[in-house]
Structure 1
Amino acid sequence: MYELKTKENDNSVIEFIEQVADAKKKEDAYRLLDVFTETTGCPARMWGTSIIGFGSYHYKYASGHEGDAPLVGFSPRKAKISLYLALDDPGWDALLESFGKHTRGKGCVYINKVSDIDVDVLRTLIRQSVELLHRLYPNDGE
């Protein structure tokens, strides 16, 4: 049976951020920690070894695969900062157009640094992601 690698754990978010080698990326991680915490109202928790997540939800697919995931989160990776958001709403394309310099993956947005983006748009994306996931998974963890 498939075992999820990215699980919520008790590792320290601050210790993780302190291990970020690049000083600017570390500063950005602290800025994002504040933005995500203030916007979600959820405490930051480590998910796996490198994702800082906020809140949680339980999903179950038609295939029977199920698990838990953070509502939103980020990871200050070596190359870029990954922002984990629920980007399934077509209306979010317009928001992303005003977001600033980024690239988009299936379930995340990649940025080089916080100064490249509009933090108010990020707050909107976070709120809308949380609202969407609460609607899709009403019996979630938060």
Structure 2
Amino acid sequence: MATIKTVPTTASVDDHVAAIADAGQREDARALIDLMGRVTGQPAVMWGDAIVGFDAYHYRYDSGREGQMPRLSFSPRKGKTVVYLMGGAAAHAARLARLGKHSFKGVCLHIKRLGDLDLAVLEEILAATLEEMAVKYPKA
């Protein structure tokens, strides 16, 4: 079985954000850290080498594979930021229609700039995702 690479690390979130080449994307990352921290009540943690995550849940597939993942997370990528939303687009369709300029594939919300979005709607989406996660993966 392959080793899971997306695990919490002791790497510095601040150092990761400071290393983002694009100044606008750096500011967006800081804003997302504030927003996700406020929604979860948890600090930001690096997961692997590129994902900033908040809180965690334990999953176990029917195959027996299990692990941990963040309840809310994002990753600054080249030219865009990806926000991971469990449940996918269908779970958030009405809110996504009000969100602003974005694209969505699988569980990945792709955004160019936070300024293109209605941040109140993004906060609604993040809170709804957290509520869905609490039902599907209750805290022990």
TM-score range, shorter chain: over 0.9
1:50 aligns with 50
Query: Unpaired segments of 5 or more residues in structure 1?
Result: none
CA apart distance, 1:88:
4.1
Aligned length: 140
Counterpart in 1 of 2:87? 87
Give TM-score, length-normalised by structure 1: 0.93
* CA deviation string 1:90-135 (max 9, x = no partner): 4510110001111101111000000011111111111111111111
**Shift in Å, 1:75:** 1.1
| 1:13 corresponds to | 13
Give the superposition deviation at 1:30.
Answer: 0.8
Q: Which amino acid aligns with 1:77?
A: R
Task: State the match for 1:28 in structure 2.
Answer: 28
Determine if the alignment matches structure 1 residue 70 to structure 2 residue 74. no
- In structure 2, the residue corresponding to 1:8 is in which secondary structure? coil
Amino acid at match of 2:138: P
- Alignment-derived partner of residue 102 in structure 2: 102
Cα distance in structure 2, aligned partners of 1:45 and 1:9:
7
Runs of 4+ in 1 over 4 A off after TM superposition: none
Query: With CA pairs under 8 Å and 6+ residues apart, which has the higher RCO, 1 or 2?
Result: 1
Contact kept in structure 2, 1:9 and 1:47, CA below 8 Å: yes
SS at 1:30 equivalent: helix
% of aligned pairs identical? 39
> Is the CA contact (8 Å cut-off) linking 1:60 and 1:66 kept in structure 2?
yes
1 or 2, which has the higher helix percentage? Answer: 2
User: What's the RMSD between the two structures over aligned residues?
Assistant: 1.3
2:102 maps to 1:137: no
Structure 1 residues 39-59: Cα deviation after superposition (integer angstroms, max 9, x where no partner): 111110000001000000001
Q: Give 5+ residue unaligned stretches, structure 2.
A: none
> Residues of 1 paired with 2:25 and 2:69: CA distance?
24
1:124 and 1:77 map into 2 onto residues whose CA distance is 23
Give the Cα–Cα distance (whole angstroms) in 2 for the partners of residues 100 and 51 of structure 1: 23
